[in-house]
Amino acid sequence: MRHLNYHHLLYFHTVAEEGSVAAAAEALHITPQTISGQIKLLEGVVGQALFVKSGRGLKISDAGRAVKVYTDDIFSVGLNLAAQLSNDQIGATAELRIGIADSIPKLVACQLTAPIVEQTNTVKLVCSEGRLDTLLADLAVHRLDLIISDMPIPSGYGVKAYNHTLGKTQVGFYSSGKNTAQLRKQFPASLNTVPLLMPTKSSPLRRQLDAWFEERDIEPNIVAEFEDSALMKTFGDLGHGVFPSPEIIGADIRQRYQAKSIGLASGVHEEYIMISPQRRLRQDTVKKLLDHGRALLDH
């Protein structure tokens, strides 16, 4: 195969992203005829059509989808370089922009991102928190480099991104009340007798716990639901109810919230996933983050 031309790849990638030659021409400020001619040259190098006609528009071919896997990586790196150059100068502290799903406990997020904070001289961590769909939209337009979530990319979601499983941790119940020893002795039946603080029904953890309650004929007295797990723990610390939490931060909960474990929800796990724009992680800092997370969790 002959040498690939960067501009040919750019024109192809823009048409694939914009959905038509006309839209790509407007985005690149060149004529549609120029783009069409350059794509034909690229097709000559590849040896296959990259687009096929679909009504009045174009549809990417199987060969085009294969090429786009690589152009996604190429132009993602290019955008990151441009952002770095526009900051101050090459050699300035790099930024790693991570989106944290708002359903992930703050203490878990701190543990999973600890290696970045420790590299204070080379990488600056920039964290955003929000709903997974909002974070995925930011990842698609390169406002984020990575996402840490407790669920994978939803099926059929129209964002080019990849799941990298970090691992999972068991979930336990905690109480700051005076009757902790009695609750532990009679666990899990004791959960019938106490007020419970729970994640909202949209949480993957909540769905698991609801099934766990049903299997054990437990009728929980849920007095409050929370999207923010830190707020849930604060309510628990004030004695308003028993609450669930991942065991990876069990020691922190016992220290920070003065709460004690009363038992594990057998078979219930919280899973953590790193979502990135690339199928293959190449950046050393990101690889280190992935390895660190997998070492912490039962991968």
Single residue among 71, 102, 126 that ends a domain in this structure = 71
Same domain, 191 and 102: no
In this predicted model, what pLDDT tens digit does every residue of 138-169 receive, in sequence order?
A: 888 788 889 999 999 988 777 778 899 999 99
Give 256-279 pLDDT, tens digit per residue.
Answer: 888 899 999 999 999 999 999 877
Q: Is the backbone peptide bond immediately before 199 cis, with ω within 30 degrees of 0?
A: no
pLDDT band at 202; cut points 50, 70, 90:
confident
93 and 226 share one domain? no
271 strand-pairing partners: 168
The reply to whether 14 and 139 lie within a common domain is no
Let me know whether 158 and 277 are in one domain.
yes
Question: Residue 81 pLDDT more than 60?
Answer: no
Is residue 158, in this structure, part of any structural domain at all? yes
Is 1 inside a domain boundary?
no
**Model pLDDT, residue 89:** 44
Residue 80 domain-assigned (yes or no): no
* The most confident of 41-55, 197-211, 248-262, 270-284, by mean pLDDT: 197-211
* CATH number for the domain harbouring residue 127: 3.40.190.10
- Encoded tokens for 285: 């800092």
**pLDDT for res 123:** 78
Number of domains in the chain: 3
What pLDDT, on the 0 to 100 scale, is given for residue 5?
74
**Same-domain pairing of 108 and 252:** no
pLDDT in tens, 273-288: 999 987 777 677 788 8
For the segment 235-254, the average pLDDT, to the nearest whole number, is: 92
Per-residue confidence band for 3, with pLDDT thresholds at 50, 70 and 90: low
Q: What is the pLDDT of residue 299?
A: 46
Domain span at 278: 87-166+272-296
Work out the average pLDDT over 185-202.
94
Q: Higher pLDDT residue, 120 or 33?
A: 33
Last residue of a domain, one of 44, 71, 98: 71
Domain membership flag for residue 112: yes
Residue 215: predicted pLDDT = 96
Same domain, 265 and 277: no
User: 256, exposed or middle or buried, with CB in 10 Å at 0-12, 13-18, 19+?
Assistant: middle
Q: Please check whether residues 173 and 258 belong to one and the same domain.
A: yes
Q: Are residues 129 and 93 located together in one domain of the fold?
A: yes
Span 178-207, mean pLDDT? 93
**Same domain, yes or no, for 123 and 262?**
no
Q: Residue holding tokens 């009340």? A: 177
Looking up residue 46, the CATH number of its domain turns out to be: 1.10.10.10
pLDDT value of residue 155: 81
Q: Are residues 193 and 261 in the same domain?
A: yes
Does 30 map to a domain?
yes
Look at residue 134 and tell me if it is in a domain. Answer: yes
Alpha carbon distance 292, 79 (integer Å): 27
254, pLDDT greater than 70 = yes
Residue 81 lies in a domain: no
Q: Are residues 134 and 150 in the same domain?
A: yes
Residue 13 has pLDDT above 60, yes or no: yes
Are residues 197 and 178 both part of a single domain?
yes
d(C-alpha 291, C-alpha 220), whole Å: 38
Contact in structure between 49 and 61 (CB atoms under 8 Å): yes
Using CB atoms within 10 Å of the CB of residue 110, give its burial: 0 to 12 exposed, 13 to 18 middle, 19+ buried. Answer: middle
Identify which has the larger pLDDT, 104 or 158.
104
Instruction: Assess if residue 82 is contained within a domain.
Output: no
